[in-house]
């Protein structure tokens, strides 16, 4: 795993907040019309609403988290749903502890 990309993704409080919320998607987000919040992920629009930022701003945060492979995106109809990539998050934690 690219540790630098992971650290960059974690260097923003909004991205950290997104990851924290997605730890408990049913507790942090309302029900969705499409997609199961746990199985499929949370709609990017719901994440944007909760953050209180514009859709393009949140899309950029989600893109950075996805490029670092800390999130997985899944298309359902015209929406993208996001969930944590627990395997990659654990790898990053392990790599950080090994390097420091």
Number of domains in the chain: 1
Q: Which residues pair with 81 in a beta bridge?
A: 43, 74
Domain boundaries, position 10: 3-99
pLDDT at 1: 60
Any idea what the CATH number is for the domain that residue 80 is in? Answer: 1.10.10.10
pLDDT tens digit sequence for 24-50: 999 999 999 999 999 999 999 999 999
Question: Alpha-carbon distance 74 to 35, whole Å?
Answer: 9
Q: Which residues of the chain have pLDDT under 70?
A: 1
């Amino acid at each position: 795993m690219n540790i630098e990309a992971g650290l960059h993704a974690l260097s923003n409080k909004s991205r950290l907040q997104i990851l924290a919320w997605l730890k408990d998607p049913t507790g942090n987000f309302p029900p969705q019309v499409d997609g199961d919040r746990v199985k499929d992920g949370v709609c990017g629009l719901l994440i944007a609403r909760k953050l209180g930022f514009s859709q393009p701003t949140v899309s950029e945060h989600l893109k950075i988290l996805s490029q670092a492979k800390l999130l997985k995106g899944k298309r359902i109809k015209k929406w993208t749903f996001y969930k944590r990539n627990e395997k990659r998050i654990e790898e990053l934690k392990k790599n950080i502890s090994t390097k420091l």
